[in-house]
């Protein structure tokens, strides 16, 4: 593993290895064991969009490992505007040991990766949010004891979060059911990327009540993602009925409730659904830290590759 940009193309062995490593690192942190494996190293943290979880969890991860995350606002460096992505990638590679970027265009993270001599991590692009999906599957592993054979019902649109969850489901041997309005479905490009898994591991429906049957997880995300603010009024209308609420929960009484956060309570999810006994949203938020520590360890620490190899499932 050289970079962490999407889950599409990752091997199931690496995916399971990263989950095992995330759980191992979580346990060590709980026990107060220090792993200063990134002492003296820095992570450039570029944010073209706002963040609570991603910024703070990466920054804490670097502190835990004895290194430092250095935050820079996208407007300040103007990737692709003030200077070409390939120039910025080469300059950042002279100062830092890794780059984490939250961007609009996915091509910005692939461009950084193509020209940097250091690892690049996607902290969310318009297309994908792989750090979120990794943390989500760590949370599923903890709550269900395994990640295979789960039915994860995402009520919302085909966006960065549901797309990464779909690829994670393929790697885990689970099923992602997207319940979306007809105009907010997976694209032809998505369907091509899902390949033979489309219709089996990735399923699309339009009626949330039909989708939630036998769900293990009900998953929600905002109706209007960062960068789509101009579409807010249209989306508010289009997504009416695509809310995780008490009525939907009653149809899936055993399902856990997940949300990547931030939540717009009263829109895509109700207060009751956020706070109910089935909700595991704050475990998800915590696991961003542990899952990302696994990614940083593998990509940036001297012992990372060997540690990942030792965590891969034995076949």
Give the nearest distance from C-beta 281 to ligand NVA in angstroms. 12
How far apart CA 173 and CA 209 sit, in angstroms, is 24
**Is residue 226 a contact point for ligand NVA (CB under 6 A)?**
yes
How far apart CA 249 and CA 44 sit, in angstroms, is 41
**Is residue 292 within 8 Å of residue 57, measured between CB atoms?**
yes
Site string for ligand CP, 172-211 (x = CB under 6 A): ----------------------------------------
Instruction: Name which of 124 and 311 has its Cβ closer to ligand CP.
Output: 124
CA 82, 120, 194, 164 dihedral sign is negative
Instruction: Name which of 77 and 226 has its Cβ closer to ligand NVA.
Output: 226
Instruction: Name which of 64 and 93 has its Cβ closer to ligand CP.
Output: 64
Distances (CA, A) of 236 to 44, 54, 176, 233: 36, 26, 24, 5
Residue 265: helix, strand or coil by DSSP?
strand
**Is residue 22 within 8 Å of residue 294, measured between CB atoms?**
yes
Give the nearest distance from C-beta 49 to ligand NVA in angstroms. 7
| H helix intervals, 96-178 | 106-115, 130-144, 160-172
**Is residue 268 within 8 Å of residue 156, measured between CB atoms?**
yes
Asked if 129 is an active-site residue, the reply is: yes
Contacts with ligand CP by CB under 6 A: the residue count is 9
Site string for ligand CP, 124-143 (x = CB under 6 A): x-------x-----------
Give the nearest distance from C-beta 126 to ligand NVA in angstroms. 7
**Is residue 160 a contact point for ligand NVA (CB under 6 A)?**
yes
Site residues, ligand NVA (CB under 6 A): 159-161, 221-222, 225-226, 260
Residue positions annotated with a catalytic role: 102, 129, 132, 221, 260, 288
Site residues, ligand CP (CB under 6 A): 51-54, 124, 132, 260-262
């Amino acid at each position: 593993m050289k970079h962490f940009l999407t889950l599409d193309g990752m091997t199931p062995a690496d995916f399971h290895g990263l989950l095992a490593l995330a759980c191992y690192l979580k346990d060590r942190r709980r026990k107060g064991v220090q792993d200063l494996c990134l002492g003296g190293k820095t992570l450039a943290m570029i944010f073209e969009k706002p963040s609570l979880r991603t910024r703070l969890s990466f920054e804490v991860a670097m502190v835990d490992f004895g290194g430092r995350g250095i935050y820079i606002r996208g407007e300040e460096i103007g990737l692709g505007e003030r200077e070409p992505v390939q120039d910025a990638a080469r300059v950042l590679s002279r100062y830092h040991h890794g780059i984490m970027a939250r961007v609009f265009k996915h091509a910005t993270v692939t461009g950084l990766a193509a020209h940097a001599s250091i690892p690049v991590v996607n902290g969310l692009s318009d297309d994908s949010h792989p750090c979120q999906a990794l943390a989500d599957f760590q949370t599923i592993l903890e709550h269900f004891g395994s990640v295979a054979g789960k039915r994860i019902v995402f009520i919302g649109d085909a966006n960065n979060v549901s797309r990464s969850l779909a690829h994670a489901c393929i790697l885990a041997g689970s099923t992602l059911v997207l319940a979306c309005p007809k105009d907010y479905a997976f694209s032809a490009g998505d369907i091509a990327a899902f390949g033979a898994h489309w219709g089996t591991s990735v399923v699309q429906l339009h009626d949330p009540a039909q989708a939630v049957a036998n769900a293990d997880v009900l998953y929600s995300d905002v109706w209007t993602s960062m960068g789509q603010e101009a579409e807010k009024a249209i989306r508010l209308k289009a997504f009416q009925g695509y809310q995780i609420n008490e009525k939907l929960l009653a149809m899936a009484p055993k399902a856990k409730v997940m949300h990547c956060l931030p939540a717009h309570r009263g829109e895509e999810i109700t207060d009751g659904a956020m706070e109910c006994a089935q909700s595991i949203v704050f475990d998800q938020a915590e696991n961003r830290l542990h899952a990302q520590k696994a990614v940083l360890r593998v990509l940036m620490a001297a012992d990372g590759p060997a540690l990942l190899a030792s965590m891969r499932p034995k076949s």
